[in-house]
Amino acid sequence: MIAYPNCKINLGLHILEKRADGYHNLETIFYPISLSDILEIIENKNPENSPSFPLSTSGLPIQGNISSNLCVKAYKLLKKDFPKMPWVRVHIHKIIPIGAGLGGGSSNGAFALKMYNELFDLKIPQEKLLEYAAVLGSDCPFFILNKPCYATGRGEMLNEISLDLSGYKFVVVNPGIYINTGDAFRDIVPAIPEQRLTAIIQAPVADWKELLVNDFERSIFRKFPEVAAVKQQLYNAGAVYASMSGSGSTVFGIFKKEIPVQLSFPENYFVKELNN
């Protein structure tokens, strides 16, 4: 079975307060875009001749131990409740930049849950899949729904919203700068905004530039001016709206489809134009 786990962008991101458990309550709009990895899962008919978990990768290098990969964690999570699940082989072709605020790893984990469910006819309802996904990570439940959502809590509490940006194209730019999410949160002073995102998102896209804010941008742009420069170049090229996604370092621009986009970034930058 082959699937194409897509990524997301954050349309606005407010850090509201720090919680007693050390996490932060936030609000954001998750919006799916078509930049995707390729994920293949097949039954492993000869597990005795395989490593403990046969996971192979291609494309962008994936750091870390196999045991920390969310596709592996998703399998082990289901195996506890469905011990008769067959063994599997997993291959990930990585296209989505890693650790970049796009949720690529979370998407892989959530899609793996859905694929195991379908491949082995586990008959897990969506509500339960959402619970499993929340165990994997805060962003994972979104990719079970994979529709525009207003997210609160740690990002796992989701409400679908009506938001259609299919009349626009997206340009996604990653300058190859790794930003530690924990460090990014430590630089944030939580605050309740005057306007919540559910109200702001109702405004025309042309008005978002003055209204729709990612709270991480201020500190990230100060530390990494290259990221701020990406956003400015997207606006210079005619973006209707541009913002950093998540805690960065990816920046996206939303453009009218009829406008040709002329950009000039260093060769090592990841740049992708998408007709969503």
Q: Which residues are catalytic?
A: 8, 139
According to DSSP, residue 214 is labeled: B
CA distance 104 to 272: 15
CA atoms within 13 A on the CB side of 211: 16
Residue ranges with strand state E in 37-98:
38-43, 55-59, 88-94
How many CB atoms within 10 Å of residue 89? 17
Element spanning 140, H or E: helix 140-145
CA distance 119 to 97: 27
Distant-in-sequence, close-in-space partners of 197: CB < 8 Å, separation ≥ 6:
11, 12, 14, 27, 28, 29, 150, 212
Peptide bond into 107 cis (omega under 30): no
CA distance 144 to 113: 9
Residue 97, beta-bridge partner list: none
